[in-house]
Structure 1
Amino acid sequence: MKVFFQGQTYSINDVSNLLLVAPNYDFLTNFIKNWTERQELFSFQSSGSTGNPKTIEIHRDQITASVKGTQKALDLREGDQVLLCLNPNYIASIMMAARALILDLDLHIIPASSTPLNQLKGSVDFASFVPFQIYEMIHNKQLDRLAQIRNVLIGGAPLNQEAQNALAKLPNNIYLTYGMTETVSHIALMKISGSQVSETYQCLPGIEIGLHDNDCLKIKGEVTMQQWLYTTDVVEMKSETEFKWLGRADHVINSGGVKIHPEQLEKSIATLLTNQDYFITGLPDDQLGQSCTLIHTGSISEQKLREIQSMIENQFSKHHIPRQAIQVAEFIKTESGKLNRKKTLELFSR
């Protein structure tokens, strides 16, 4: 394994020298150092998008199991070139370093930004991005460069339909990921490019899934130390290893007895709201219990709202239509850039 950073090459033994020129990467470089010294337990911070951030202890064996699952799913090979261009303090970046360590891959580190391909010299075989980076690539007409990366993972937040349509035309392997800190990064992938585009997540080898309360997903495998992990993600099981993600149970809107998953509505109207932040939620309503409501940061005309309502009614039903659109000054986001719906609504309420 070699590490490439700002035009310099570092070996595993040079990791302390890397820290001198990249002090913001101390969490990452300490992980590399501790891994080579056979440390057994590692502490990670959850993103906090669904509650307060918390510290999670992950065993060395869980990390190895996650790496092996990804290796099999993506056919990663010794000597592959991999790109790390995400926030270095979160599990996605740490796991990219872990894959490089365990599988003897060469790691190219680029400081996190909205335009990582602008700084990339040469080619890589494997990379992970967040949706905002993908949107910028589409805006900057860089999809030809993205297509040169053999395996691309996209995670951290949902990807809008407009972007998925653009990526579907590319010949390389591009996947949406499903996972969390507790599962040591992703446990399932959805292919959205090439000739085998899918609408469901396929579990990595060794992952067992099922349903618990309210059709929420439960997960078990070596990455969870063979203990069931119970999530609040509502899914539709397609097989013993495949599922369709519908949304979070704590986001479900109950409007007149109809259960609405706002994440599905948000994805459907993405092409109509490309220049602003927005989400759909349920606000108290005397007649319906909850009224479907669009919360947004930019301006929405009455005509635009009617377009949104018409699109949702055509794809879902009249019961799913947002009854109103409310503009707020800003959205509250986590340190990793994820929308915090609960705190945004609390700010709006005040």
Structure 2
Amino acid sequence: MMSLRGAIARLWDIDESAPMLQSDGQWLPWGYVKSLSERIDTELTIAGCAAGGRVAVVLANRTESVAALIAIIRGSRTLVTLSPLQPPHRLAADLEATAVDYVLAGEEDWCSTEFAAAVSKLGATGWSVDGDAVTMAAQGARRHAASAESAESGDDLGEVVIEMLTSGSTGPPKRIPLSRAQLEASLCAALQHNNRSDGSAQAPFAGSAAILTWPLVHISGMWGLLQALVSARRLVLFKRFNLADWHAAVKNHRPGLVGLPPAAIQVVLDSGIPPDDLASIRAINCGASPIEPTLVDAFRERFGIPILVVYGATEFSGAVAGWTLNDFRERWLEKKGSVGRAFPGVRLRVVDAAGELPPAGETGLLQVASPQSGAPSDEWITTSDLAHIDEDGFLYIDGRADGVIIRGGFKISPDTVVRSLRSHPAVSDAAVAGLPDDRLGQIPVGAVELRARTSVAAEELREFCRKTLTPYEVPARVYIVDELPRGASMKIDHRRLVAMLTDLTSGSDES
């Protein structure tokens, strides 16, 4: 099996002048990233963070995050991810909930009084990492995270490498501990699935560059970064997807395989990019949220590029099923809508409400058995996805069993949005549901009842939500209604809510 730490250690033998990472249009040599990683490692070691130490990192898409990840993995520590997409008060609360002893963040994060207060409350040691500077920003008590013996051994496949934040299902976000064994199993399965090598036989940082547009705090972004590091591929890192910059990167670097979410695929399709500019791309990997087969067909017709859909989750440290190029060429026309077949070493099945196996092709709750889950390989993990599997092993996702909204690959708990709307002084009650969206897959839409003798504009409610929600959680629309649809028990009738919001949205689109 591939060794994650061994692959990172192999980077230290590479010529330091080799271009390694492009950020903001500027190429940085491996020596720059290596030196920054070593400075981070030195600071952590001096502060007492040995093997097994948990380090919280505000993981923005920037060079400093890449260097921090390398230092943490190389030192057998645990990376605890913090999302920079959160409003300051939520980022501070999230940090406090981690109970870490060590924190790495950018200067602008430390300028937040709420963030600094959370670090102080933890009694943690923290550093501001900006450019090539690693500056102590908070002095905590010196701690020993692990014994010298465990620091030297580092052979435990069960060690937690990353604690990845995910929405998961309804309710507050949770952190998923991803072990070294899980990550290595995921990387190996993906390589076998696509009949690719781990890059060890190729000259490091010499081939085509990997283009990464996903946020590193999303499992797709993290997985893309790890894959680039393991295969020693040059990396073009975007802070966020931008059509003009992405187009230029593809023309310049001529990649054979790229990854894009459905929303970005739609943007590329709607653009005036000449097909010849994307001629190097053999296929596009697409995951994180559903994509309509009509979009796949339209993109292929315009650019001649297949879109290989994959299915996965943070809990499985990445993808567990997907299309191969051969499958797409041979089976797409008859299997449209599928997310492909199980990766090597992965078993899939669906069960009904009683836990029994229904006939092939019938919908049930999807279960996964794989080393990527961190559980024994014969243990079935139940997901929140409704699915069916046909007689040829092709998996189809039929919806969610937990009501979670997936907007452009990001999971949104309706309850979180409802709580934000209800906290407005003019709102008596609120309800939120996900409606279909051609670009993002789903969008959250809300309806509210107002308190007596109050008034507020719908757009004002959306702006109010921005103070407490991440940008992708803010409802795309809010409607003020006389009465929310309720059943006999006075609970919100979800089916009637969706129908009402669909009608309201249709009416507003026509007006």
TM-score past 0.5 threshold: yes
Whole-angstrom distance in 2 between the partners of 1:204 and 1:95: 15
User: Residues 69-218 of structure 1: matches in 2 within 5 Å?
Assistant: 69-77=189-197, 78=199, 79=207, 81-115=209-243, 116-120=245-249, 121-142=252-273, 144=275, 145-146=277-278, 148-169=280-301, 170-190=303-323, 194=329, 196-197=331-332, 198-199=335-336, 200=338, 201-214=340-353, 215-218=364-367
Gap runs ≥5 in structure 2: 1-10, 12-19, 41-58, 78-158, 200-206, 354-363, 405-432, 447-483
Find the aligned partners of 2:369 and 2:248 in 1 and give their Cα distance. 39
Give the aligned partner of residue 31 of structure 1: 69
Structure 2 distance, partners of 1:16, 1:89, is 23
SS of match in other structure, 2:388: strand
Q: Over aligned residue pairs, what C-alpha RMSD do you find?
A: 4.0
**Residue 45, structure 1, aligned to residue 165, structure 2:** yes
1:179-258 matches, cutoff 5 A: 179-190=312-323, 194=329, 196-197=331-332, 198-199=335-336, 200=338, 201-214=340-353, 215-225=364-374, 226=377, 227-239=379-391, 241-251=393-403
**Per-residue deviation, 1:159:** 1.9
Q: Distance in 1 between matches of 2:170 and 2:278?
A: 31
Amino acid of the structure 2 residue aligned with 1:101: L
How much has 1:152 moved relative to structure 2?
Answer: 1.7
Report the CA distance between 1:52 and its aligned residue.
2.1
- Once the two structures are superposed, residues 124-159 of structure 1 have per-residue CA deviations (whole angstroms, 9 ceiling, x without a partner) of 233221222111111113372445323321122222
TM-score normalized by the length of structure 2: 0.48
The 1-side partners of 2:279 and 2:365 are apart by: 35
Deviation for aligned residue 1:241 = 4.1
Corresponding letter in the other structure for 1:165: D
Say whether residues 1:295 and 2:504 are aligned partners.
no
The code of the aligned residue for 2:260 comes to F
Task: Call closer, same or farther: CA 1:100–1:180 in 2, change over 3 Å.
Answer: same
Rg larger in structure: 2
DSSP 3-state at the match of 2:501: strand
Count of residue correspondences: 288
**% identical aligned pairs:** 18
Q: Provide closer, same or farther for how the CA distance between residues 136 and 219 of structure 1 changes in structure 2, counting only shifts above 3 A.
A: same
Q: 1:300 is paired with a residue of what secondary structure?
A: helix
* Displacement of 1:266: 4.3
Q: CA deviation at 1:63?
A: 0.8
Matched, 1:14 2:146: no
Given that residues 210 and 240 in structure 1 are in contact (C-alpha distance below 8 angstroms), is that contact kept between their aligned partners in structure 2? no
CA change 1:244–1:32 in 2 (3 A) is same
Q: Give the distance between the partners of 1:136 and 1:149, measured in 2 at CA.
A: 17
Cα 1:289–1:151 change in 2 (3 A) is: closer
Residue 4 of structure 1 is matched in structure 2 by 22
Quote how far apart the aligned CAs of 1:122 are: 2.1
- Structure 2 counterpart of 1:11, one-letter code: W
CA distance in 1, matches of 2:385, 2:318: 16
- How far apart in 1 are the matches of 2:324 and 2:195? 14
Task: Provide the rounded CA distance (Å) in 2 between the counterparts of 1:237 and 1:93.
Answer: 28
**Paired residues for 1:311-326 under 5 Å:** none
For 2:31 and 2:298, the matched residues in 1 are separated by 38
- How far 1:75 moved relative to its partner? 2.9
CA deviation string 1:248-288 (max 9, x = no partner): 12349xxxxxxxxx99x948xx5xx99x95789x96567x9
1:276-330 deviation per Cα after TM superposition (whole angstroms, max 9, x unaligned): 95789x96567x99446163598525997xxxxxxxxxxxxxxxxxxxxxx9xxx
- After superposition, the Cα gap between the structure-2 partners of 1:71 and 1:246, relative to the gap in structure 1 and judged at 3 Å, is same
Aligned pair in 2 of structure 1 residues 299, 90: CA closer, same or farther (>3 Å)? closer
C-alpha deviation, 1:55, in angstroms: 0.8
**Which digits, 9 at most, give the CA deviation of each residue in 1:178-215, with x for residues without a partner?**
11110111111146965542332211111011223431
Distance 2:185 2:383 in 1: 20
